[in-house]
Chains A and B, each alone.
Chain A
């Protein structure tokens, strides 16, 4: 088996890790239903697997409170003895859907347990990115011969600023590993995290305008393997939204204060950096106001 695999390895073998957004709060009010979305995505996965015999696909579901591996095409237990339910799914994806359903149930329980949390209706992008990177790292260490991994993030939920630090860390790890993060954003607002992820790691970011043509977008832009991207011109976004969220309140900010030691971002003046503990000196604004105070006091005395 391994020798055959060696002979068949060409430079366009890819390992695609798909991060699927299953945030119920997003899916409860979109133009496209989850089932339609799923059919586009499943057809896309089939197409990717059809491009090359050695391609691999991993699906990770990004839920509201948790993430989990849903599908791994390299596991042989996928094929075979699932009974076909009428005109339903081909057996290839039956296990995927089963696992997805189980995952959603588990996620619901977890969110119930969490209690009242004032949170943006975002999905756990940082979690799924970390899981994807762990899997890819395992693939890298498995041996000399492995497909070229990339991550595709299919998301519609808005960014959760509280995840900023974790997401940025994952992005930089991906950059280090030279794994591009592609992102397809199907939501309403722009996602700064995804734009930055694609920009920094060298992936493709696209916001499809027509969601009923999602399959076409996916196969045109995101099915290209890494080798072919050298000579295929893919659409690039006009610019990247580089806004960060502050470390203290997790708000998205344009201008703020930065610790000169660890580069943590704060929206208001602090006496001490919460990340590295370095003490900040008095800022010029404070000095000026204190001097003027002193001046005002002097004539009185």
Chain B
């Protein structure tokens, strides 16, 4: 059908249903739809690209409406064409429909290839997930490898895990190393006087993050003034000069080599940043501790980088750095983490990305006057002087949490107190008193009974009391932090937990397969049922194998699992019966016996 076109003379174009329509000429071909009105003065000439046509509708022949064809484009515009008769409209419509189909096919092809590619990625993802989550792996092994569930079914319920966003979220951002860059020792060659530094992109990143002046210099000098290798050579020469105690040599070389001087000067960019930060600090904060760090004060005290405490000659003091400054700067950078995600080998790209980030953050940092004012107000509100506030000693009452079992488990053998008949009372009272008095007289005469208590009775009482005190019911559950599972041996505990998860998995698939409509579901349900019976027998076996004093509690734990499985089995049986009844009853549709 491609390459053909449809032309129609007596077509009216309506922009809406109410529009009476402008008569004109319509031509549709593979690429384009063209409508030219008969009247050259009207301006409803229409050119629509056929690939923009999203959908088409048309009026039916049986209805009393005139033959209209309604086209909708992706841009949301509607075009209604009124034809002279239905067959014309049908031809047009069929052509448009054919075009639509052609459009869709390439899209579908594109989609299918991408799904194939995706599944390779997905397979990798699945594999990774299984490796990371041992419980998932166990479940997978149990079900998929024993052919109870297929791969697709297993992962169908775990779409969330496989979602693309989770990859990114779960990938942990690597932080920076806490070892200082200056701690890298070069490899020395004993014979010659060469030292070799090994530079990795990681190290380069850290240098750029810590020393913005170096970064700036890199951007400025490379590749215009020197190659990267030269740059780094100069940098490490500067580092070497620092590591010697010879400030005079450092000064001399700096005077000679302008680029080297850049490395040997204190870092101007850092100083600027710090000064800005200081302006925005809360005025109640004690900044004295930070004074050595702001790169703008003279270093007249403090340990130098190489551990000496010499006083430095004033003209050479810029060639020394204090250990504290380096450490603090390094720590600040490590805590900030990786500010960019660029994984590139090219040093220049890294440098530029870092600069961009710094500029962005600086731009964010510049606040307007209003914001400043607001910040000052907030600070004055928040800076409460602790010494001036009254002590707040709120009286605390400890929580009294009662054990609910005391309230609800007590009705064992509690008989309601039935009042006996009053008539009999009067007569007996006198007698009863008499008996009582007799007893008292008797004991006064004879004294305490001897022996007071028989040893066997005493022993029995002791053992029954001990048993009462140490029953599980009285011990378990009294401590809210302890759970019964911890008292089981580890293997039993793991087994119980594993059974829980596997039963959940099985039941989820089982219940989702009902109602059974296809033979595929039928086989699936059959396999699931076998697996469930298997698990059931395993549960029974586990109950037997546990020691006797824990057995009751374990059976209590296991009971809901078995109940869930029982419910599933029942449903399966009932459904099976219904099916067989239906299939056997289907032969006699009228119910004749």
Contact = CB atoms under 8 A, between A and B. Distances in A.
A240 B413 contact: no
B443 A38 contact: yes
B446 A88 contact: yes
Contacts of B411: 239, 241
Interface stretch (A112-120, A135-143, A172-180, A274-282): A112-120
B462 A104 contact: no
Tell which of A97, A159, A216, A217 has the most Cβ of chain B within 10 Å.
Answer: A216
B430 interface: yes
A43 B405 CA distance: 36
B339 to A, nearest CB: 59
B435 A25 contact: no
B425 A239 contact: no
Contact of B412 (A22, A43, A158, A238): A238
A97 B444 CA distance: 7
A80 interface: no
B440 A34 contact: yes
A138 B23 CA distance: 115
B468 to A, nearest CB: 4
Interface stretch (A9-17, A205-213, A264-272): A205-213
B422 A119 contact: yes
Interface stretch (B179-187, B320-328, B451-459, B584-592): B451-459
Interface string A52-83: 00000000000010000000000000000000
B335 interface: no
B440 A216 contact: no
Contact of A40 (B407, B447, B453, B469): B453
A101 B437 contact: yes
B449 A104 contact: no
Contacts of A156: none
A33 B442 CA distance: 11
A210 B460 CA distance: 9
B433 A161 contact: no
Interface string A33-49: 11110111011000000
Given A35-B442, A116-B422, A235-B468, A213 B406 contact: no
B398 interface: no
Contacts of A214: 453
A89 B407 contact: no
B447 A28 contact: no
Contacts of B461: 208, 210, 213, 216-217, 220
Interface string B417-448: 10110100110111111011101111111111
B400 to A, nearest CB: 11
B409 A22 contact: no
A199 interface: yes
A153 interface: no
Interface in A116-165: 116-121, 158-159, 161
A160 to B, nearest CB: 8
B416 interface: yes
Contacts of A239: 405-412
B415 A118 contact: no
A104 B435 CA distance: 11
A94 B443 CA distance: 10
A214 B447 CA distance: 17
Interface in B250-299: none
A45 to B, nearest CB: 11
A87 B406 CA distance: 49
A39 B446 CA distance: 10
B422 A88 contact: no
B443 A242 contact: no
A39 B449 contact: yes
Tell which of B414, B422, B449, B469 has the most Cβ of chain A within 10 Å.
Answer: B414
B407 A240 contact: yes
Contact of B417 (A111, A120, A195): A120
B229 interface: no
Contact of B422 (A36, A43, A100, A118): A118
Contacts of B428: 25, 28
Contacts of A192: 414, 417
A238 B409 contact: yes
Contact of B425 (A25, A36, A252): A25
B454 to A, nearest CB: 7
A104 B406 contact: no
A86 to B, nearest CB: 7
Nearest to B405: A239
A88 B425 contact: no
B473 interface: yes
B436 A238 contact: no
Contact of A117 (B410, B422, B433, B468): B422
Nearest to A42: B448
A234 interface: yes
A190 interface: yes
A85 B440 CA distance: 14
A199 B406 CA distance: 9
Contacts of A42: 448
A43 B429 contact: no
A176 B436 CA distance: 36
A89 B460 contact: no
B464 interface: yes
A159 B445 CA distance: 33
B474 interface: yes
Given A88-B446, A118-B422, A189-B417, A221 B432 contact: no
A235 B439 contact: no
Contacts of A240: 406-407, 410
A199 B407 CA distance: 11
Contacts of B435: 24, 27-28, 34
B465 interface: yes
A35 B436 CA distance: 9
Given A24-B432, A116-B426, A121-B420, A40 B452 contact: yes
Contact of B430 (A108, A117, A234): A108
Nearest to A245: B417
Interface string A2-31: 000000000000000000001011011000
A9 to B, nearest CB: 28
B452 A252 contact: no
Given A28-B436, A239-B405, 14 more contacts: A22-B436, A28-B428, A35-B443, A36-B449, A39-B448, A64-B429, A89-B444, A90-B447, A189-B415, A214-B453, A215-B452, A216-B457, A220-B461, A236-B474
Q: Which 10 A-B pairs have the closest CB atoms?
A: A239-B410, A24-B432, A34-B439, A118-B422, A28-B432, A213-B461, A35-B443, A216-B461, A213-B457, A108-B433
